[in-house]
């Protein structure tokens, strides 16, 4: 366990925002976590649990303790003829897990290739892309209660998973530390190729009978073309959630905007691509000093240099206001604002 004071968080968030943590603690294993939580001097101090720093925007210094979870390990918990259950420690990089599953011919999360962040963060947001959400592969999540230091497990149906949401983002926010996640993965694959971009990319690749490796590669190619690499340009991926509107509101909008793209939902509502709404308001490629909207994907806000978190947050609010004015839709931020 490493505990230091007055640490810059710039290397620990994909936006590359240069703010300081009053105290910064790195946990290498479960024993570190429990020892830290049992240390009297840290019990009453505000804590921020940090994974890969890929879904966070710092707007100021953090006056509490930033706890970085670095636990490692992938273990086979169970296997049948059709499935394998993997228990994965929270500090594993998400894309490392995706590659591990592909190398071992385990299907279920290949559509989530190249999403930044760590395994411990994936249940919080219920990460999703290209027709797949991580909840579809999560069997259970193991946590440590910050106050009691007790360890317990939540089954999938206890996690209250929703669109970019979970119990960890609401009822259990700042109350638990995710230690590991158990995934149920398939040995007999059911590929998800519904999104038009995937078949098109597979065709470009010359693949007629794709395997999970091909699907992951196709999605990686698409993401490379559309999304900026956080190592080159600071960003947190999708900044806003895709809004869902009622059938009544959808018909009203269609009358004014017949080109409106949409995806019908099982409950009769319609999901609208937030990137399209933002682009229609003229924000795509827009730049204000070092804060901006990416030139290829309007859903991604970027730090072109030394932008502050306040500058990026201010830009996000302007985008929300313009979308609300033009379409009557309130965009919700997907990124956690600190």
pLDDT beyond 80 at 117: yes
Exactly one of 121, 137, 166, 238 is catalytic; name it: 238
22 is catalytic: no
334 is catalytic: yes
Which segments of the chain belong to CATH 3.90.78.10?
A: 234-337
Report whether 185 contacts 86 (CB < 8 A).
Answer: yes
DSSP category for residue 286: -
Report whether 142 contacts 181 (CB < 8 A).
Answer: yes
Report whether 17 contacts 9 (CB < 8 A).
Answer: yes
CATH number (1.10.15.40, 3.40.640.10, 3.90.950.10, 3.90.78.10) of 234-337 reads 3.90.78.10
Per-residue model confidence as pLDDT tens digits over 39-59 = 888 888 888 988 778 889 999
At 93 the pLDDT is 92
Which segments of the chain belong to CATH 3.30.43.10?
A: 2-69
Per-residue model confidence as pLDDT tens digits over 189-229 = 889 988 778 988 999 999 889 999 999 999 999 988 888 88
The band of 8, judged by pLDDT with boundaries at 50, 70 and 90, is very high
**CATH number, span 2-69:** 3.30.43.10
Q: For residues 330 and 62, what is the distance between their CA atoms, to the nearest angstrom?
A: 29
| Contacts (Cβ under 8 Å, ≥6 apart) of 261 | 272, 273, 276
26 is catalytic: no
Report whether 66 contacts 12 (CB < 8 A).
Answer: yes
Exactly one of 142, 164, 223, 308 is catalytic; name it: 164
At 246 the pLDDT is 92
Mean pLDDT (the chain, rounded): 91
Q: pTM for this one?
A: 0.84
At 75 the pLDDT is 94
Transcribe 40-105 into DSSP letters: HHHHTS-EEEESSS-SEE--S-EEEEEEEE----EEEEEE-SSEEEEEEETTSBHHHHHHHHHHTT
Domain 74-186 has CATH 3.40.50.970: no
Give the residue with greater pLDDT, 314 vs 147.
314
Q: For residues 23 and 203, what is the distance between their CA atoms, to the nearest angstrom?
A: 51
């Amino acid at each position: 366990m490493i505990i230091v004071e007055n640490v810059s968080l710039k290397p620990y968030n994909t936006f590359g925002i240069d703010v300081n943590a009053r105290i910064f603690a790195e946990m290498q294993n479960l024993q570190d976590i429990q020892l830290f939580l049992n240390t009297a001097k840290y019990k009453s101090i505000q804590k921020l649990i940090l994974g890969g720093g890929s879904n966070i925007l710092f707007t100021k210094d953090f006056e509490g303790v930033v706890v970085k979870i670095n636990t490692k390990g992938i273990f086979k918990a169970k296997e049948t003829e059709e499935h394998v259950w993997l228990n994965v420690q929270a500090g594993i990089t998400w894309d490392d897990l995706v590659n591990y599953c592909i190398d071992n011919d385990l299907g279920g999360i290949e559509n989530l290739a190249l999403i930044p962040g760590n395994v411990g963060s994936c249940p919080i947001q219920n990460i999703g892309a290209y027709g797949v959400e991580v909840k579809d592969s999560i069997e259970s999540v193991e946590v440590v209660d910050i106050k009691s230091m007790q360890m317990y497990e939540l089954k999938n149906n206890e996690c209250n998973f929703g669109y970019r949401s979970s119990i960890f983002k609401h009822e259990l926010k700042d109350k638990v530390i995710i230690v590991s996640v158990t995934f149920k993965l398939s040995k007999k694959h059911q590929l998800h190729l519904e999104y038009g971009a995937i078949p098109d990319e597979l065709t470009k690749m010359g693949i007629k009978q794709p395997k999970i490796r091909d699907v992951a590669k196709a999605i990686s190619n698409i993401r490379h073309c559309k999304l900026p690499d956080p190592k080159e340009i600071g960003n947190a991926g999708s900044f806003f959630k895709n809004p869902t509107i009622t059938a009544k509101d959808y018909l009203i909008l269609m009358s004014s905007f017949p080109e409106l793209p949409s995806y019908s939902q099982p409950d009769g509502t319609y999901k609208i691509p937030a990137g399209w709404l933002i682009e229609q308001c003229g924000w795509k490629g827009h730049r204000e000093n070092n804060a901006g909207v990416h030139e290829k994907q309007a859903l991604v806000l970027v730090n072109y240099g030394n932008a502050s978190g306040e500058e990026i947050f201010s830009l996000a609010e302007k985008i929300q206001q313009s979308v609300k004015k033009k379409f009557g839709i309130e965009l919700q931020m997907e990124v956690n604002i600190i």
